[in-house]
């Protein structure tokens, strides 16, 4: 099955090493579970988890027809038709399988450990793919690389239950099957490719990469004059089955026939048919006639196809490149037209330290490996080259797509290292040039050759033992450093669940900061079941997942206007915000505030995006300019602009913040500045709860005044005299911190 | 419409049944305002677009030079030019009730061109203008000439061009060059357009401290380091084993390994500039 043909010892050795690599890949992703506990991480995974629970509890059909009332109030969300269900179904099936075997495991554990499990599979898939490129030895190296490369670990640690967790395995395995199908010209492997492509489509939007890269590969092969019946069989099977099956996913639907993202695949499919037809005619015509016919047909088809595509796009029959994908080409596009996409940190372009951080040693080895592919340039090497160049472009444009680059970097680097080790680890001295490169199989025969003709000209190999050693040892050294680097990065950068934070106390002991769950649990226990919570969209999934309450916006950012409305409420003065909140039936408002403890990912730091997104829709109500001082600074202290100090978010963040400092002016440790000395008064909302470290602050929206006054008028009524004696609004729930 | 201090006050006095956009600018050579001149071209385009409007004008465009309206500038506390002010109507269907009398539009912080300006005019006053940029005939001519010469060139050298296109080395260099370029942060430079290098206390700063940002020169250095390391590795794989003389070969191996380790150690050193807490290093 693994394509091995050597002696049984070698096979066993390989299987053992590969299993160890897979176990290693699994184990190195468990830092967060060991350090904290087995929890779901971050934001999106919470939604996936919630839907998976729904799937497991109510079955597949309920899941597909599920209308989620908790999100996007008052719009709701048709979940079945708007998600990639792959990961939920996968987790559900594993859960079902285990329970059938009488392993009573909770679905949460399945979800937490799904990504590491599939990372183990990815290592095996990388082994298979690389073994097709060179030999099993290179495959083992590639498996080891991808098992520990931080670029992949970043999205697949235990608890990060997200589409990418299984998608990378599917990506690599689909490519392996494609190469296999192409090599053998086998319809069976072509169909398998399509099957895994279907799984991939059901799991991740990144499937578009596959459906464009494989046609690109086919096209390049045609241009290089390498058309063959193998290509024809493999591609046709893949395209037909793959496209038909991908249309079964409700979220994808008829897109494969309607959007430009998928048109390249269709075009290549047509082109292949024509070329196959022409090849058939060739047997009946003289070569001269044939040549002109071929060029004529190919060029004619290309022009007609392209013209037709442009025409249909203009006619509105085929959707042009969709926003997210288009922004990869026209990099200024997102910032101008879809700020919501530009605001996500993982959609930013990648600076070089990130590349180094995620791939380290593999980075310089990667071009070397690609060069070696050019040297050999079999059909599958063309694939590596195309993959390398497209993926490195995408990774450069968007941090998140580092993930698609990592597999090919591992494969290419493994090719380079394995070639190097082949040469410098060979027992024998230089072999005649005519002999094949010294794979393990050939070593013995070369050895014999060598004894017979020792000093013949034109040999390939290394003469002296010490030069071999002087290469192998440093390579071993840098590889070891690479392994250290990977562990360090994984442990320090990628293993934080982000809903539970850790910091060090003064004595160096670990302090767990669990404010998020504290607040979400408070919401779950203390608010009416139908309460509507307003928060910035980042926290939507977590609130629905952990508090089981309705939110206005969440991380599925499909409705820009709605998000902008929330942004408007946050950025405007209390009275304006109150109107918005009343219209949307908001009962509670949630803000994240890190100033008390130094948590930098809080709402004040995200505020500019709220303003920008809000301004995009409500330019008359919000102006980004007004939040900056005359000198263009973003300040929170006494010199902050009036708009800033009046904004709802500012008030909610710093409400009674000064009281923490015993009457002195509060010091915001994130912004590194004092806050405004004027006490903040709230009249449309009141504080409901603040967590231990003040990270989450909850406010309840007041009901309208009984006799129809505006709430600001009502709150000042009769208070003119005793303004000095400030009444704690409802600070009972607050925990004192001295 | 060219304004002076007096006409400015007259036009901006209430009540108004029109929108007024005033471009605060200066052409005084003493101020050397390059931006003003650049923006003036775009303003003229917008003005021409106004001229093509057929229906009753509700929107006016005015320009106030610093020399003509010094007191206005000081009254409104405008320190930078060019600056656009918008006076919304106080009467009529689009009248603004309450709020400030005028808006400042800081086009500097967005984009300083006719399209952004027109977009803004549309969003506040509902007047749609279409910009017609004058066709730049010289540019068109150059393009046509280039295209023609390209066609002729292709025609003439078709056969040798085919050889070039089929040249594997060319493609190798192209692919590797591009992937190294992308992997060393070129796209970041393209999108964020950072400074070429920085300076601090009069010294040239090559590596910007900070993980999420970089100078252009940084990515060039890093790209070169990657490329050089890759070349050394490729050399060790393909060239060194073909050396026939054992002594020469040994020398080559030692040089290659030394180069590899030096380059790689330096790359890690560079990374430690960016990330102070990075614990690993080879020789330096």
Which of A75-89, A158-172, A369-383, B216-230 is the least confident region? Answer: A75-89
Distance from CA of A367 to the nearest CA of B (A): 6
Query: Is a pLDDT exceeding 70 seen at residue A50?
Result: yes
* A-interface mutation test, from B169, B241, B242, B269, most A Cβ less than 10 A away: B241
CB spacing of B233 vs A349 below 8 angstroms: no
Query: Could you tell me how many CB contacts below 8 A there are between chain A and chain B?
Result: 170
pLDDT given for residue A243 in this prediction: 92
Query: Is a pLDDT exceeding 50 seen at residue A727?
Result: no
| Burial profile A504-531: b = 16 or more Cβ within 10 angstroms, e = fewer | eeeeeeeeebbbbbbbbebbeeebeeeb
Q: A325-365: per-residue pLDDT in tens? A: 666 666 666 666 666 666 666 778 888 888 998 888 899 99
Interface of B with A in 159-178 (CB under 8 A): 168, 171-172, 175-176, 178
CA A664 vs. chain centroid, Å, equals 44
Provide the percentage of residues in chain A whose pLDDT is more than 70: 86
Q: A625-649: per-residue pLDDT in tens? A: 778 877 777 777 777 888 888 888 8
Region B248-257 average pLDDT: 90
pLDDT band for A168, please (50, 70, 90 cuts): very high
Query: Is a pLDDT exceeding 70 seen at residue A447?
Result: no
On chain B, the residues whose CB falls within 8 A of the CB of A459 are 244
Which CATH architecture group holds B2-125? 3-Layer(aba) Sandwich (3.40)
The segment with the largest mean pLDDT, out of A405-419, A665-679, B16-30, is A405-419
On chain A, the residues whose CB falls within 8 A of the CB of B183 are 352, 355, 363, 366, 392, 395-396
On chain A, the residues whose CB falls within 8 A of the CB of B124 are 619-620
3-state secondary structure of A688: strand
Regarding predicted confidence, which is higher, A319 or A464? A464
d(CA B117, CA B110): 10
pLDDT given for residue B278 in this prediction: 83
pLDDT given for residue A528 in this prediction: 86
Token digits for A608? 């500019």
pLDDT band for A453, please (50, 70, 90 cuts): very low
On chain B, the residues whose CB falls within 8 A of the CB of A430 are 241
Per-residue HEC secondary structure of A248-286 comes to CCCCCCCHHHHEHHHHHHHHHHHHHHHHHHHHHHHCCCC
With beta carbons less than 8 A apart as the criterion, state whether A652 and A685 touch.
yes
Distance from CA of A369 to the nearest CA of B (A): 8
pLDDT given for residue A723 in this prediction: 46
Strand partners, B3: B64
Q: Assign domain A515-733 one CATH number from 3.30.70.100, 3.40.190.10, 3.40.50.12610, 3.40.50.410.
A: 3.40.50.12610
Provide the percentage of residues in chain A whose pLDDT is more than 90: 23
Residue B145 neighbours by CB under 8 Å, 6+ apart: none
On chain B, the residues whose CB falls within 8 A of the CB of A368 are 230, 233-234, 237
d(CA A327, CA B24): 35
On chain A, the residues whose CB falls within 8 A of the CB of B177 are none
pLDDT given for residue A442 in this prediction: 42
On chain A, the residues whose CB falls within 8 A of the CB of B230 are 364-368, 371
pLDDT given for residue A431 in this prediction: 62
Query: Is a pLDDT exceeding 60 seen at residue A440?
Result: no
CB spacing of B233 vs A365 below 8 angstroms: yes
Query: Is a pLDDT exceeding 60 seen at residue B113?
Result: yes
pLDDT given for residue A503 in this prediction: 75
3-state secondary structure of A416: helix
- In the block, residue with structure tokens 């919630």: A50
pLDDT given for residue B257 in this prediction: 92
Closest CA to B254 of B274, B236, B272: B236
CB spacing of A361 vs B264 below 8 angstroms: yes
On chain A, the residues whose CB falls within 8 A of the CB of B261 are 474, 478
pLDDT band for A2, please (50, 70, 90 cuts): very low
CB spacing of B175 vs A349 below 8 angstroms: no
The residue extents of the domains of chain B are 2-125, 136-166, 167-274
Which of A28-32, B51-55, B144-148 is the least confident region? Answer: B51-55
Distance from CA of B196 to the nearest CA of A (A): 14
On average, the pLDDT of chain B sits at: 75
On chain A, the residues whose CB falls within 8 A of the CB of B80 are none
Distance from CA of A521 to the nearest CA of B (A): 35
pLDDT given for residue A335 in this prediction: 61
Q: Which residue does chain B place closest to A461, by CA atoms? A: B241
Q: A260-294: per-residue pLDDT in tens? A: 778 888 888 988 888 888 778 777 776 677 777 77
CB spacing of A467 vs B253 below 8 angstroms: yes
Query: Is a pLDDT exceeding 60 seen at residue B94?
Result: no
CB spacing of A474 vs B190 below 8 angstroms: no
Q: Which residue does chain B place closest to A430, by CA atoms? A: B241
pLDDT given for residue B22 in this prediction: 73
Query: Is a pLDDT exceeding 60 seen at residue A38?
Result: yes
Region B247-275 average pLDDT: 89
Q: Which residue does chain B place closest to A348, by CA atoms? A: B188
CB spacing of B253 vs A462 below 8 angstroms: yes
- In the block, residue with structure tokens 């372009």: A349
CB spacing of B249 vs A385 below 8 angstroms: no
Region A374-399 average pLDDT: 89
Region A295-305 average pLDDT: 77
Distance from CA of A212 to the nearest CA of B (A): 18
On chain A, the residues whose CB falls within 8 A of the CB of B116 are none
Q: A672-725: per-residue pLDDT in tens? A: 788 877 778 888 888 888 888 888 888 888 887 777 777 777 766 665 544 444
Distance from CA of A396 to the nearest CA of B (A): 5
Nearest neighbour of A351 by CB, restricted to B172, B212, B254: B212
Q: Do the bridges between strand A588-592 and strand A532-534 make them parallel or antiparallel, or are there none, so unpaired?
A: parallel
Closest CA to A180 of A199, A167, A194: A194
Categorise residue A487: left if φ over 0, alpha if ψ from -120 to 50, beta otherwise. Answer: alpha
pLDDT given for residue A192 in this prediction: 94
On chain A, the residues whose CB falls within 8 A of the CB of B238 are 375
pLDDT band for B137, please (50, 70, 90 cuts): confident
Q: Do the bridges between strand B2-3 and strand B59-65 make them parallel or antiparallel, or are there none, so unpaired?
A: parallel
Q: Does B225 touch chain A (CB under 8 A)?
A: yes
On average, the pLDDT of chain A sits at: 81
CB spacing of B175 vs A420 below 8 angstroms: no
Q: Do the bridges between strand B19-25 and strand B59-65 make them parallel or antiparallel, or are there none, so unpaired?
A: parallel
Q: A471-513: per-residue pLDDT in tens? A: 889 899 999 999 999 999 888 888 777 777 777 767 767 778 8
pLDDT band for A140, please (50, 70, 90 cuts): very high
pLDDT given for residue A543 in this prediction: 85
Query: Is a pLDDT exceeding 90 seen at residue A142?
Result: yes
Query: Is a pLDDT exceeding 80 seen at residue B87?
Result: no
CB spacing of B280 vs A397 below 8 angstroms: no
Q: Do the bridges between strand A532-534 and strand A673-674 make them parallel or antiparallel, or are there none, so unpaired?
A: unpaired
Q: B184-225: per-residue pLDDT in tens? A: 888 888 887 788 877 777 777 778 777 777 888 888 999 999
Distance from CA of B211 to the nearest CA of A (A): 6
Nearest neighbour of A462 by CB, restricted to B191, B249, B264: B249
On chain B, the residues whose CB falls within 8 A of the CB of A457 are 244
Nearest neighbour of B233 by CB, restricted to A350, A420, A461: A420
With beta carbons less than 8 A apart as the criterion, state whether A369 and A412 touch.
yes
The residue extents of the domains of chain A are 1-161, 186-320, 515-733
d(CA A456, CA A728): 96
Q: How far is CA A368 from CA B172, B177, B187, in A?
A: 11, 12, 22
CB spacing of B175 vs A619 below 8 angstroms: no
pLDDT given for residue A702 in this prediction: 83
- In the block, residue with structure tokens 């269900």: A85
Query: Is a pLDDT exceeding 90 seen at residue A523?
Result: no
């Amino acid at each position: 099955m693994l394509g091995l043909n050597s002696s049984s010892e070698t096979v066993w050795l390989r299987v053992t090493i590969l299993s160890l690599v897979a176990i290693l890949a699994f184990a190195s992703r468990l830092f967060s579970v060991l350090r904290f506990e087995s929890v779901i991480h971050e934001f999106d995974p919470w939604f996936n988890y919630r839907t998976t629970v729904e799937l497991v509890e109510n079955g597949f059909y309920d899941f597909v027809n599920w209308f989620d009332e908790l999100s996007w109030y008052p719009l709701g969300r048709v979940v079945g038709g708007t998600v990639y269900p792959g990961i939920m179904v996968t987790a559900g099936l594993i859960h079902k399988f285990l329970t059938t075997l009488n392993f009573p495991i909770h679905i949460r554990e399945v979800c937490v450990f799904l990504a590491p499990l599939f990372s183990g599979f990815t290592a095996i898939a990388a082994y298979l793919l690389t073994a097709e490129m060179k030999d099993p030895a290179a495959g083992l190296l590639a498996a080891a690389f991808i098992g520990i490369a931080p670029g992949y670990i970043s999205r697949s640690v235990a608890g990060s239950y997200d589409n990418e967790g299984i998608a990378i395995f599917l990506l690599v395995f689909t490519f392996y099957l494609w190469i296999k199908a192409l090599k053998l010209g086998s319809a069976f492997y072509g169909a398998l490719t399509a099957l895994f492509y279907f799984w991939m489509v059901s799991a991740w939007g990144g499937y578009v990469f596959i459906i464009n890269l494989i046609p690109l590969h086919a096209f390049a092969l045609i241009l290089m004059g390498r058309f063959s019946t193998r290509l024809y069989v493999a591609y046709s099977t893949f395209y037909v089955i793959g496209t038909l099956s991908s249309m079964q996913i409700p979220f994808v639907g008829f897109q494969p026939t309607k959007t430009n993202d998928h048109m390249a695949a269709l075009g290549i499919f047509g082109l292949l048919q024509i070329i196959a037809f022409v090849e058939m005619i060739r047997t009946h015509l003289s070569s001269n006639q044939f040549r002109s016919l071929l060029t004529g047909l190919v060029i004619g088809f290309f022009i007609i196809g392209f013209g037709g595509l442009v025409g249909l796009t203009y006619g509105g029959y085929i959707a042009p490149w969709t926003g997210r994908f288009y922004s990869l080409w026209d990099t200024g596009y997102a910032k101008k037209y879809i700020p919501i996409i530009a605001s996500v940190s993982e959609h930013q372009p990648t600076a070089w330290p990130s590349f180094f951080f995620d791939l380290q040693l593999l980075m310089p080895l990667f071009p070397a490996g690609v060069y070696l592919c050019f040297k050999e340039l079999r059909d599958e090497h063309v694939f590596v080259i195309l993959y390398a160049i497209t993926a490195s472009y995408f990774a450069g444009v968007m941090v998140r797509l580092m993930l698609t680059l990592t597999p090919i970097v591992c494969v290419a680097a493994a090719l380079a290292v394995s070639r190097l080790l082949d040469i410098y680890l060979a027992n024998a001295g230089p072999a005649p040039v005519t002999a094949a490169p010294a794979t393990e199989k050939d070593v013995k025969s070369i050895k014999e050759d060598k004894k017979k003709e020792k000093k013949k000209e034109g040999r390939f190999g290394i003469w002296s033992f010490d030069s071999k050693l002087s290469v192998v040892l440093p390579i071993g050294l840098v590889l070891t450093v690479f392994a250290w680097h990977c562990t360090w990065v994984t442990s320090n950068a990628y293993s934080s669940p982000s809903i539970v934070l850790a910091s060090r106390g003064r004595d160096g002991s670990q302090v767990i900061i669990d404010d998020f769950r504290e607040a979400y649990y408070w919401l779950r226990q203390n608010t009416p079941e139908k309460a509507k919570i307003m928060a910035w969209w980042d926290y939507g999934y977590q609130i629905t997942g952990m508090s089981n309450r309705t939110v206005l916006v969440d991380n599925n950012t499909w409705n820009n206007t709605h998000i902008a409305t929330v942004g408007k409420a946050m950025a405007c003065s209390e009275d304006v915000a109150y109107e918005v909140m009343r219209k949307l039936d908001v009962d509670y408002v949630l803000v994240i505030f890190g100033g008390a403890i130094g948590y930098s990912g809080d709402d004040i730091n995200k505020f500019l995006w709220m303003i920008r997104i809000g301004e995009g829709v409500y330019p008359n109500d919000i102006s980004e300019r007004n939040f900056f001082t005359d000198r263009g600074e973003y300040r929170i202290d006494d010199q902050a602009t009036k708009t800033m100090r009046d904004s709802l978010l500012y008030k909610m963040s710093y409400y009674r913040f000064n009281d923490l400092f015993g009457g002195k002016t509060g010091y915001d440790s994130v912004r590194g500045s004092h806050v405004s000395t004027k006490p903040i008064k709230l009249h449309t909302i009141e504080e409901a709860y603040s967590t231990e470290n003040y990270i989450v602050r909850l406010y309840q929206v007041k009901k309208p005044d009984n006799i129809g006054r505006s709430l600001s008028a009502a709150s000042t009524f009769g208070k003119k005299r005793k303004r000095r004696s400030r009444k704690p609004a409802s600070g009972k729930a607050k925990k004192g911190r001295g | 419409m060219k304004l002076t201090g007096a006409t400015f006050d007259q036009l901006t006095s209430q009540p108004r049944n029109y929108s007024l956009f005033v471009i605060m600018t200066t052409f005084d050579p003493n101020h050397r305002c390059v931006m003003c001149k650049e923006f003036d071209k775009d303003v003229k385009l917008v003005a021409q677009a106004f001229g093509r409007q057929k229906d009753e004008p509700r929107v006016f465009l005015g320009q106030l030079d610093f020399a003509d309206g010094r007191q206005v500038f000081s009254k409104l506390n405008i320190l930078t030019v060019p600056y656009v002010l918008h006076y919304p109507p106080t009467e009529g269907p689009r009248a603004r009730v309450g709020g400030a009398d005028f808006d400042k539009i800081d086009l500097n912080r967005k984009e300083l061109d006719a399209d952004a300006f027109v977009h803004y005019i549309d969003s506040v006053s509902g007047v749609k203008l279409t910009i017609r940029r004058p066709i730049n005939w010289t540019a068109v001519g150059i393009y046509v000439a280039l295209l023609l010469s390209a066609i002729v060139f292709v025609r003439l050298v078709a056969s040798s061009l085919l050889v070039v296109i089929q040249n594997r080395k060319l493609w190798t260099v192209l692919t590797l060059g591009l992937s190294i370029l992308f992997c060393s942060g070129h796209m970041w430079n393209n999108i964020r357009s950072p400074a070429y290098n920085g300076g601090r206390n009069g010294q040239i700063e090559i590596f910007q401290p900070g993980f999420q940002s970089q100078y252009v020169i940084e990515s060039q250095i890093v790209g070169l380091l990657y490329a050089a390391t890759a070349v050394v590795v490729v050399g060790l794989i393909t060239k060194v084993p073909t050396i026939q003389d054992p002594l020469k070969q040994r020398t080559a191996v030692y040089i290659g390994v030394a180069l590899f380790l030096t380059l790689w150690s330096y790359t890690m050193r560079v990374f430690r500039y960016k990330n102070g807490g990075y614990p690993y290093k080879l020789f330096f």
